[in-house]
Structure 1
Amino acid sequence: MSPSPPAAMDDIVILDWNCTHVVRANESLLAQLRAGSLLEAEEDANITFAMEPPEPPYLNVSCELPVAYAQPLYGYVMPALLVVTMLANTLIVVVLSKRHMRSPTNAVLMAMALCDMFTLLVPAPWLFYMYTFGNHYRPLAPIAACYAYNAMNEVLPALFHTASIWLTLALAVQRYIYVCHAPVARTWCTMPRVLKCVGWICFVATLHQSTRFADRVYETLTIEWRGQRGVTVCYVTHAPWVQWVSIDLYYTVYFVFRVVFVHTVPCISLIVLNVLLFRALRAAQLKREKLFKEKRNSECKRMLDANCTTLMLIAVVTAFLLVEIPLAVVTVLHIISSSITEILDYHIANVLILFTNFFIIASYPINFAIYCGMSRQFRETFKELFIRGAVTTKRNGSSSKYSLVNGPRTCTNETVL
């Protein structure tokens, strides 16, 4: 994108309707004025302040994200990532929905896969339009498109990602109960209770994001854009009810809730639960070695399957934390910088959030690799999707793994994956 031609003072006030061009024009003109010693110190400060590009009243994607990074990541890498994520998560859902794979743990894993898939799938059309096809600099219209963009690119992905975070926490809590409080699991970790928990998580996540569907109002505005008169854009303002409540209060409540209950508490809880599960896993490993020495092979095998499931879920939670903790830290710093004291440059914060969001999306196919690498039953069920009868002989041969799944369920073997 070539720099704009030299701008007059009026041009800077009106803006070029493109934040990148405005900044370049401002810096260029200000440098010329300073070089000619035409500015007093006070005038220099005033003009610098006045020339900073304000947030445009219309929907302009170029002002929302650093395009230099957003276009290659969202425009060129994301399409390939979308295909991989869709394929991987669809296979996860298909495998986990098989009759012999149904269990409370697998129900949560399947819900997580669906939420992760929709987090990327819903905004995908806009990512293609804006960044792959290079329309990010164009004003967006009509009004219906602006409402759709806000819902599909901002609100719904946040909703599905919030649900995914809480489902991951529910998964860790459930596994902790199975491993460390097995008798309680018979009552609290039944399939009906787990499905009800998944439903409540999705409901609360929707409730949390519900106000974001109606906190903005778009109206039609006609402007002159790049020499073209009569260009229709979406003029965006806060909804009357937000102004009545107070804009500062509304965003403070929303983001404080998000920081505390969507980022901080889940991440801290998952770290603690991961440590507790790992300690329980070590204790179980020592017990298994003792059983092996006593040649109690059936109990040893059952414990091995349970340990593999626990280890796999620890890996899933760890992969989740590796990408979620940086986002939580950046979000907290960004909110503190915006509302209390400036400790983080706004542009740097946007770049950091862009990259952390991208790495979260890039992590979605990792769960499929974890399941394939650490769950024999998942691998064999996956293989059976393409090669009929591939594991029939093992089932008919009373494989201990399948007898655990199809035989009488206990509080331990119910979650074998």
Structure 2
Amino acid sequence: MTPAEMAQNWTIGYSDMTNNSFTTVSYQINGSESSADSYHYSGADKLASFNIFYKPYHGYIATIVCILGIIANMLNIVVLTRRNMISATNCILTGLAVSDGLTLVAYLPFALRFYCLYGTEVSPERNTLGAIRFMLFYACFSVVVHTVSIWLTVTLTVFRYIFIKHPRRGTVMCTLQRAKIAVFLNYVVTLIVCIPNFVTITVQGSPMMAPDNSTYYLWFVQYKLDNAVDNFVYKFNFWIQAILVKLVPCVGLTILSALLVRTMKKADRRRRNLKMKSTMKSAERESSRDRKTNRTTRMLLVVVFLFLLTEFPQGILNLLSGILSHFVEEVYWPLGDLVDILALINNCVNFILYCSMSKQFRDTFIDIFLSQCSKNMKRFTLVPTSTKSEI
């Protein structure tokens, strides 16, 4: 099924955009309700059953994840921008925390409105013009900030690979100024690349008849497929999202991560050989610096691994959606909410990784927050006067 046919075969009545995809509650194939015998893929009926089971809980789970994730990313930004934490790597991590936080900020009202407050079924109260206009904004905004997060992860891995592969050149090539430029370009270029996504979707109303014979409208976000130009833009945007936004960075990160691990092993062997020839004092200094570098690199590799764990399957699903007939409505849509919650969780976990794997981050966090809390506690704690004790 072509991308244009995918949109034309949607059920008019309920379609929501989440991240880079539309999800539906009522699945129909060529305008008729799907039964177990009408599915084209083995296990598709089980996926549909899973979606029906999970969807009522998704909004509440997503709301909790978003609130915790927003707080976690705010803490990341505060700690990573301290004077003692300023570096090229932390600059990129700060940009990543901003984009992850914005993704969660955008998803929170979406989950509350279209899952929690008015349920998941289409209704006049749920599908108002104002609400669907917000959905249109969310559909565009979330794609931009999520894409920024993806490519900032790639930028981070490239910087780290250069620094480990060429330590002397890395100090010159991977400077703080260049990291700032890289973060800025990621935001600007992503905004430009996502322009086709902005122009290919719109708000449309479907007239309905009320019991008193009055007419009212239910509003939806739909793709614009009115002419040949709209169809071309839709197809062009689909392949940009599937390949440039998903598969290319995922494949690139996989290759870079493998090269980074190999380079780390070579660097370790080289350093061990140098230590044998250097003085004891110099060896201890080099060893301390090497351990810190390796801890940082391992932490970033875990960040990349968790990113690939959530994004690579979604990239493959996106690609198959444009190649295989009936794949969207039978496989991709039922997995839409699950894909979303995994992506949201991935936007939250970096704070835990930084605290558990970076002593400098942990010490800075304690110095900023816990030390101040400790001082405030001491102000209100009564210290008993000391008394002499007998020997």
**1:111 aligned partner:** 95
2:304 to 305, 309, 317: 317
CA distance in 2, matches of 1:22, 1:174: 45
- Write the deviation string for residues 365-414 of structure 1: whole angstroms up to 9, x where unpaired: 22111111111100000101123389xxxxxxxxxxxxxxxxxxxxxxxx
CA–CA separation in structure 1 for the residues paired with 2:200 and 2:177: 36
- 1:75-154 maps to which residues of 2 (within 5 A)? 75-137=59-121, 138-139=123-124, 140=126, 142-152=128-138, 154=139
Distance 2:97 2:258 in 1: 24
1:318-397 pair list within 5 angstroms: 318-337=305-324, 342=325, 344=327, 346-388=329-371
- 2:186 maps to a residue whose letter is I
Q: Which runs of 5+ in 2 are unaligned?
A: 1-10, 16-23, 35-49, 374-391
CA 262–213 in structure 1, closer or farther in 2 if over 3 Å, else same = closer
Question: Could you tell me how far apart the structure 1 residues matched to 2:304 and 2:312 are?
Answer: 12
Separation in 2 of the partners of 1:348 and 1:131? 21
Q: 1:218-253, CA deviations, whole angstroms, 9 ceiling, x for partnerless residues?
A: 3555422577733333376655xx645533321221
Alignment-mate amino acid for residue 148 of structure 2:
A
**1:113 Cα offset (Å):** 1.1
CA distance in 2, matches of 1:237, 1:380: 49
Q: Give the match for residue 29 of structure 1.
A: none
Tell me which moved more, 104-113 or 290-299: 290-299
Please point out which of 167, 175, 178 is paired with 2:160: 175
Aligned counterpart, 2:182: 197
Show the counterpart of 1:11.
none
Deviation at 1:278, TM superposition (A): 0.8
Structure with the bigger RCO (C-alpha within 8 Å, sep 6+) is 2
User: Secondary structure of the equivalent of 1:322?
Assistant: helix
Q: 1:235 to 1:317 in 2, by over 3 A?
A: closer
- Judged with a 3 Å threshold, the aligned counterparts in structure 2 of structure 1 residues 372 and 17 are, in CA distance, closer, same or farther, namely closer
| 2: CA distance, partners of 1:177 / 1:354 | 37
- Residue 372 to residue 116, structure 1, CA distance change in 2 (3 Å): same
> Which segment drifts farther, 97-106 or 381-390?
381-390
Give, in whole Å, the separation in 2 of the partners of 1:49 and 1:321. 34
Give SS of 1:136's match.
coil
Cα drift, residue 51 of structure 1: 4.4
Q: Between Structure 1 and Structure 2, how many residues are aligned?
A: 335
Distance across 1 between alignment mates of 2:147 and 2:221: 26
Q: Report how far residue 216 of structure 1 moved.
A: 3.6
Offset from partner CA, 1:296-335 (integer Å, 9 cap, x none): 1111111111111111111111111111111111111112
Whether the aligned pair in 1 keeps the contact of 2:165 and 2:263 (CA below 8 Å) is: yes
Counterparts of residues 127-276 of structure 1 (less than 5 Å): 127-137=111-121, 138-139=123-124, 140=126, 142-152=128-138, 154-218=139-203, 222-225=207-210, 229-234=214-219, 243-276=226-259
Percent of aligned pairs with the same residue? 26
Q: Which amino acid aligns with 2:262?
A: R
The answer to whether the Cα contact below 8 Å between 1:115 and 1:161 also exists between their aligned partners in 2 is yes
Return the alpha-carbon distance in structure 1 between the equivalents of residues 288 and 26 of structure 2: 68
Cα-to-partner distance string for 1:171-226 (whole Å, 9 max, x where unaligned): 00000111102333244212222111111111111112223333344355542257
